[in-house]
Chains A and B, each alone.
Chain A
Amino acid sequence: MQREVTMNEIIADKKINIKGLVCPYTFVKAKLAIESMEVGQILEILLDHAEASRSIPKSMEDHGQKVLKVEKINDTDWLLQIRKDKD
């Protein structure tokens, strides 16, 4: 169900902006967003908490989800893409 289009651009099914939040609320928001989605769908997360850019991917993997992308997009922000593999 992974939806790849040209140039490896992945179209997210849902996007959340959790800039300004710190742990563990970054993960709380990300997890609730994933829970509300269907297996196979992709969640895109915009955040600016450095620790969460490492901990969210790790926790998502621990919970059985697939991390597709972790990218620092400017001085302050990261963009994550997570595919929901497990309900």
Chain B
Amino acid sequence: MDFTEDQLLRYSRHIILPEVGGKGQAKIAKARVFIIGAGGLGCPVGYYLTAAGVGTIAMIDNDTVEMSNLQRQIAHSVHTIGMPKVESAKKTFEALNPDVHFIALKKRISKDDILDLIEDYDIVVDGSDNFPTRYLVNDACVMAHKPLVSGAILRFEGQVTTIMPGEGPCYRCLFEEPPPPGLVPSCQEAGVLGVLPGVIGGLQATEVLKLILGKGDVLKGELLIYNALKTTFRKVKVPKNPSCPLCGENPTIRELIDYNEGYCAIQ
């Protein structure tokens, strides 16, 4: 890949890393990443991947920017309140790095279109805020054999794992079914420290870059749990479950499932 002088300057701190170099930066420029959600997690993931020079980034979200988002959703601003979140993010990311081709999808992802949507992408990032989407994305990535970098946050705690279909466990190996709606914290209970998604989203973006570069170790078969109050990181081994209904020996789930009923979407 021939870099322009501006690109040499922009990516110089990458190029001088032995693990990246010009060849690694060219891989980043060719990569295609699909991000679910333009909220707390999607914003930092998209922001850093844009800064890193990921060639194509698609982001899907059906919401518009509200004042209550700005405490943590760093791609948005008072100037974009009322705008679709994906358009607000596009504006921010294009200002950061015009090299990146950003595709804004203002819609809710569903079982009818997710496989088509992710088909042309190398890696999927889940930054969604609800269990129906989390399970839908997991199932679709396992079926489509797409690496999935999954993140979740609540109050002062966040978690990250990287699902490598066919190689490691999937989300259902850990929790076979989504929790019943009554057990999920209601919108009123679900506070979150604004900086927490920055930490978790930063970790997700790091996982994505390592997958693109083929360097280091990703969180395959491991759940990393960060507690912001205690400042602790814990890694929990997650074995592949042979009786997983999705990726086990005798899978019972062969079609995508829409669990949307009964959940309160946390904005």
Contact = CB atoms under 8 A, between A and B. Distances in A.
Nearest to B13: A24
Interface string B1-36: 001000011001101101001110000000000000
A28 interface: yes
A71 B67 CA distance: 62
A27 B8 CA distance: 11
A38 interface: no
Contacts of B9: 25
Given A25-B8, A25-B9, A32 B18 contact: no
Contacts of A24: 12-13, 16
| Band of interface residues on B | 10 to 19
A35 B15 CA distance: 11
B8 A28 contact: yes
B15 A28 contact: yes
A42 B86 CA distance: 49
A31 interface: yes
Contact of B15 (A32, A36, A62): A32
A17 interface: no
Nearest to A33: B22
A69 interface: no
A63 B18 contact: yes
Most buried by A among B3, B12, B23: B12
A32 B16 contact: no
Contacts of A63: 18
A2 interface: no
Interface in A14-73: 24-25, 27-29, 31-32, 35-36, 59, 62-63
Contacts of B18: 62-63
A33 B3 CA distance: 12
Nearest to A29: B8
Contacts of B22: 31-32, 35-36
Contacts of A25: 8-9, 12
Nearest to B8: A28
A36 B1 CA distance: 10
A43 B233 CA distance: 45
Nearest to A63: B18
28 contacts: A24-B12, A24-B13, A24-B16, A25-B8, A25-B9, A25-B12, A27-B16, A28-B8, A28-B12, A28-B15, A28-B16, A29-B8, A31-B15, A31-B16, A31-B21, A31-B22, A32-B3, A32-B8, A32-B15, A32-B21, A32-B22, A35-B21, A35-B22, A35-B23, A36-B22, A59-B16, A62-B18, A63-B18
Nearest 4 pairs of A and B residues by beta carbon: A32-B22, A28-B12, A35-B22, A28-B15
Given A24-B13, A25-B9, A35-B21, 16 more contacts: A24-B16, A25-B8, A27-B16, A28-B8, A28-B12, A28-B15, A28-B16, A29-B8, A31-B21, A31-B22, A32-B3, A32-B15, A32-B22, A35-B22, A36-B22, A59-B16
